[in-house]
Amino acid sequence: MRDSGQMLQVVHGGMVKAGLDVQKIYGRLGYDAEQLPLRELRTAHQMQTFFWETVEAVTGDREIGLHLCPHLPLYRGEVLEYLLFSSRTFGEGVSRALKYLRLISDALHIRLVREGGTVSIHLTSAALDAPVQRHTEICMLYELVQLVRDVTEQNFKPLEVSLSCAARAPAAEFEQLFGCPVRFSADIAKARFDIAVLDYRSPHWDPDLLQLHEEFAAKRLSKIERQDLIERIRAVFSRRLEIEQCELEDVARELGLPPRRLRFELTRAGTSFSQLRSDFRFALAKRLLAQSEEPIENIVYLTGFSEPSTFYRAFKRWASMTPLQYRELRRRPSVTEATAP
């Protein structure tokens, strides 16, 4: 399960505005804050816990999510927001946007639940054994509340907010932030609104634009699904290359796809099965040569080659040097990625 870099981009903007030591935070995470391609990132969801633990450690603030919220920029400029604005009503816009929630995260679930004369936006985890991280929950609910206010031109504010986490700061701070009563240790994290919000008519409703936005959202989602497919193939490689050659038909069978469909999806993604297999073998060979003491004859086997001569020719084609030359180069103290492929 992965989260889009757009989530981190919002939090990053809040940290900068709040004056946090962003370089120190990312340094502990192993990233260069200035070089981090936030919009292109799609990180494993479990990294959120490590991220927030690091932010807590650097700031010394155990309620950092709460204190960051006033500094968070409003989620802007993405296709889900476009779908909300160009739909006829807020309710229709939310229903459309939720179909493409994976563009933000496939680890979080957001849904609308009618409760008598009110409607609630529920925020839950897609993983039953992994609840939403407390700071993520607070920040996400805050962003959702702000988005509802913005889309409805400040006509609707929450009646009540429920958090599944316990409070580490006075309840009054949370209530001032959300502008409504806040409950803690609830079964589900949610923000409750007057049900009339669903019928709020968007002043920006445009059927033609709505169609374009839906097409764009579908295209973006297809791209993510193809990226996921490539990751699944690499996972199969990592399990199978050590014991046997991997052919497209074998991998397709393991993924539960017809071989023709797998070949078609890879073509749409701008790659091929043989290219993915070659790239995986090269990356694995480089890692084993640089970071292990495995004899080269074992690396031949581990990367799925049947003959050392075939491995040597392939590696020379990949790296323009022999495996032994690469190993020696990578182990020199002054070597950098700029001087070694």
Residue 53 counted as domain residue: yes
What count of residues does the chain have?
A: 341
From 199, 230, 256, the end of a domain falls on: 199
Are residues 169 and 229 both part of a single domain?
Answer: no
Token readout for 107 is 């680890």
Model confidence band, residue 263 (pLDDT cutoffs 50, 70, 90): very high
Nearest to 222 by CA among 265, 181, 282: 265
Residue 303 counted as domain residue: yes
- The number of angstroms, rounded, from the C-alpha of 7 to the middle of its chain's C-alpha atoms is 8
Q: Which residue has the higher pLDDT, 194 or 107?
A: 194
Residue 273 counted as domain residue: yes
Are residues 179 and 232 both part of a single domain?
Answer: no
Are residues 192 and 252 both part of a single domain?
Answer: no
How far apart CA 28 and CA 67 sit, in angstroms, is 21
Token readout for 97 is 């946007």
The CATH number covering residue 147 comes to 3.90.1520.10
Are residues 133 and 11 both part of a single domain?
Answer: yes
pLDDT tens for each residue of 126-164? 765 566 789 999 999 999 999 999 999 999 999 999 999
Q: Say which residues have a Cβ less than 8 Å from residue 263's Cβ, sequence separation at least 6.
A: 248, 272, 273
What are the residues facing 162 on neighbouring strands?
Answer: 183, 190
Classified as helix, coil or strand, 303 is coil
Model confidence band, residue 312 (pLDDT cutoffs 50, 70, 90): very high
| 33, pLDDT greater than 90 | no
- The number of angstroms, rounded, from the C-alpha of 292 to the middle of its chain's C-alpha atoms is 31
How far apart CA 182 and CA 81 sit, in angstroms, is 26
Are residues 153 and 64 both part of a single domain?
Answer: yes
Give how far Cα 20 sits from Cα of 52, 60, 68, 70, 134, Å.
Answer: 13, 11, 10, 14, 19
Token readout for 210 is 């709505």
| 337, pLDDT greater than 50 | no
How far apart CA 23 and CA 328 sit, in angstroms, is 33
From 147, 168, 199, the end of a domain falls on: 199
Mean pLDDT, residues 224-239 taken together: 86
List the domain range (segments joined by +) for residue 270.
Answer: 217-330
Mean pLDDT, residues 38-48 taken together: 66
Are residues 188 and 46 both part of a single domain?
Answer: yes
Are residues 154 and 279 both part of a single domain?
Answer: no
Helices (H) then strands (E): counts for the chain: 15, 7
Q: Considering its fold, how many domains does the chain have in total?
A: 2
Give 209's Cβ-side CA count (13 Å radius).
14
Output the CA angle 96-99-103, nearest 5 degrees: 115
What are the residues facing 122 on neighbouring strands?
Answer: 111, 190
Model confidence band, residue 125 (pLDDT cutoffs 50, 70, 90): confident
Are residues 189 and 229 both part of a single domain?
Answer: no
Token readout for 65 is 């999510």
Neighbours of 241 (CB within 10 A): 19
How far apart CA 87 and CA 102 sit, in angstroms, is 19
Token readout for 138 is 């607070």
Residue 337 counted as domain residue: no
Residue 186 counted as domain residue: yes
Mean of the per-residue pLDDT values of the chain: 86
Contact 210, 87 (CB under 8 A): yes
Are residues 56 and 178 both part of a single domain?
Answer: yes
From 168, 199, 230, the end of a domain falls on: 199
